[in-house]
Amino acid sequence: FVPPAVDTGLVRSASAARPDLLAREVDVIRKHAWSAEVVGRRIARAVGRPRSLTICGWMTRVAVLSARCCPVTARVCAAHAAKRMGLW
């Protein structure tokens, strides 16, 4: 099972050298993360299925597919996305 970003509260309670970077990351998670309850239900359903991989969310599907087909391009795209969000 490959879950999307999950809002567990870990980022909000973390300490950071740069508080502005932490605030940006908290904002990204607030906007894009799934709740832990929803992901928990998906995991519970996926355990009973005879699949080797269960993926939630279209962005995760694209990331997994691109990482399998062309890993270098996937890393470059992930780095570009992190820069655009101000996380790098």
User: Quick one: pLDDT at residue 3?
Assistant: 62
- Below-70 pLDDT ranges, the chain: 1-3, 53-56, 88
Long-range contact list for 45-48, CB < 8 A, 24+ apart?
46/1
Backbone angles phi, psi at 9, to 5 degrees: 90, -5
Alpha-carbon distances, residue 70 vs 1, 24, 54, 55, 74 (angstroms)? 21, 29, 20, 19, 6
Question: What pLDDT is stored for residue 41 in this prediction?
Answer: 87
DSSP 55: B
* pTM score, whole prediction: 0.47
